[in-house]
Amino acid sequence: MFKKVLIANRGEIALRVHRACQEMAIRTVAVHSTADATAMHVRLADESVCIGPPAARDSYLNVAAILSAASITGADAIHPGYGFLSENASFAEMVEAHGFAFIGPTAEHIRMMGDKIAAKDAMRRLGVPLVPGSDGALESLEEARAVAERIMYPVLIKAAAGGGGRGMKVAHSADELEEAWRVARTEAKAAFGNDAVYMEKYLDRPRHIELQVMADMHGNVVHFGERDCSLQRRHQKLVEEAGSPALTAAEREAIGAQVTQGLSKLGYRNAGTLEFLWQDGQFSFIEMNTRLQVEHPVTEMVCGVDLVKEQLRVAAGERLGYAQEDISFTGHAIECRITAEDPESFAPSPGRVNTYHAPGGLGVRVDSALYSGYAVPPHYDSLVAKLVVHGKSRAEAISRMRRALSEMVVDGIRTTLPLHQRIMEDPQFQSGDYTIHWLERFVGLRG
């Protein structure tokens, strides 16, 4: 097993990785920007190295500084967390070229899944169901028109290099296609430096359901069931559940078997998530994330597994040591992403947190790097806490979440706590009957 792991990230996820390492008697190295010198991940880690100024491109994306930090501290592995360098194939390559283990998939698979067209190609070959669409990149507007006629409007133009919902445009009819084509390409070029786009049928009322997988280096692949991440605003997830209120155990088993067989053929290793749209009982693959996801705790709660420890174990070459039949699902878990944003306008609200009080009690988990007196810096993602609850049933999880939200205090900055309270109180959310469009309507309804 590794002796010392460098955590190439910040905030709650850096803490999350640190916690797994500590319990496995692995020493940790935190890296941080000058803006994060007093951050909790720096305070808790065994060692820390400042890797640059506040701007992420000069610190958390500064590959040379991170590799130097790993070298001078004698780390033997690097965990990238999520975001930043976690899905950068060249980074994974460089980490290994410098003699460190990369805690994640191979650079080849990161690269393949990072290009959504290549990812869909791979999944098609492996027999995983896809959203109907173009067979690859669209070469011209004429080709886009032809594909749209074939799969029928509405259609979605998506960036091959896409992420965070950017470079994605809907055309409801032929007269909207040219505009959608032009805007999607311009956005893709600006955001990713790559204007390759492809087309998918725009599903009008899908749920976003994703499957958590884990693979070792010996060809063993298992899945830890699904998460329902349909509650989104501008394609950003706000609330996640495990399991999905819409899925039966038989449906989970069927898609799980298809995916694990496919990934085993591919030789995939470490953690991964396959994202699907689910409508009318049909799964359609949209993308694969080759890293730990923000919402992984809901899976951990229902499966009783520590996904980061599993990542560390398989990255060190250990076998999974259990089979699919050994994985069971108990109760229901919900996560609320608490961000430093105005709960109505979603304007960022960084600044000093005067008082922070985390809720507790049975079945409550808080993953957060907050503390009283901490100043949330304006330079990074606005996520400040993940409030996760586990209950025997979905109804119990919802009442537990309402109770936990009411106990939580983040005073001094605005947060989305009041919005989460409203969602948990809503009868339609409580019924479990919602699609990816539900939350935007819910937020919009408030005059």
Spatial contact of 314 and 269, defined as CB atoms under 8 Å apart: yes
Check if 291 is active-site: yes
Whole-angstrom CA distances from 77 to 154, 220, 372 are: 46, 22, 32
Instruction: Choose, by CB under 6 A, the member of 4, 145, 189, 235 that binds ligand ADP.
Output: 235
Judged by beta carbon, residue 208 or residue 313, the one nearer ligand ADP is 208
Binding residues with ligand ADP: total (CB under 6 A): 19
Question: What CA–CA distance (Å, rounded) separates 48 from 51?
Answer: 9
Spatial contact of 8 and 60, defined as CB atoms under 8 Å apart: yes
Judged by beta carbon, residue 123 or residue 315, the one nearer ligand ADP is 123
Under the binding rule (CB under 6 A), the answer on residue 96 touching ligand ADP is no
User: What's the token pair of residue 184?
Assistant: 């999607």
Q: Which stretch binds ligand ADP (CB under 6 A): 155-163, 186-194, 240-248, 387-395?
A: 155-163
Helix (H) / strand (E) element for 300: namely helix 296-303
| Backbone CA torsion sign across 285, 289, 294, 298 | positive
Instruction: Choose, by CB under 6 A, the member of 48, 232, 270, 293 that binds ligand ADP.
Output: 232
Q: Which stretch binds ligand ADP (CB under 6 A): 24-32, 161-169, 189-197, 290-298?
A: 161-169
Q: Any residues with CB less than 8 A from the CB of 195 and at least 6 apart, and which? A: 159, 185, 186, 188, 189
Under the binding rule (CB under 6 A), the answer on residue 290 touching ligand ADP is no
Question: What CA–CA distance (Å, rounded) separates 33 from 55?
Answer: 8
Site string for ligand ADP, 184-203 (x = CB under 6 A): ----------------xxxx
Radius of gyration of the chain (CA): 21
| Backbone CA torsion sign across 294, 297, 298, 300 | positive
Q: Which stretch binds ligand ADP (CB under 6 A): 47-55, 160-168, 353-361, 392-400?
A: 160-168
Judged by beta carbon, residue 276 or residue 380, the one nearer ligand ADP is 276
| Distance in Å from the first CA to the final CA of the chain | 55
Under the binding rule (CB under 6 A), the answer on residue 435 touching ligand ADP is no
Under the binding rule (CB under 6 A), the answer on residue 436 touching ligand ADP is yes
CB of 202 to ligand ADP, least distance (A): 4
Q: Which of 27, 111, 291, 365 is catalytic?
A: 291
Note the residues at the interface with ligand ADP (CB under 6 A): 131, 156, 162-165, 200-203, 206, 208, 232, 235, 275, 277, 286-287, 436
The catalytic residues are 291
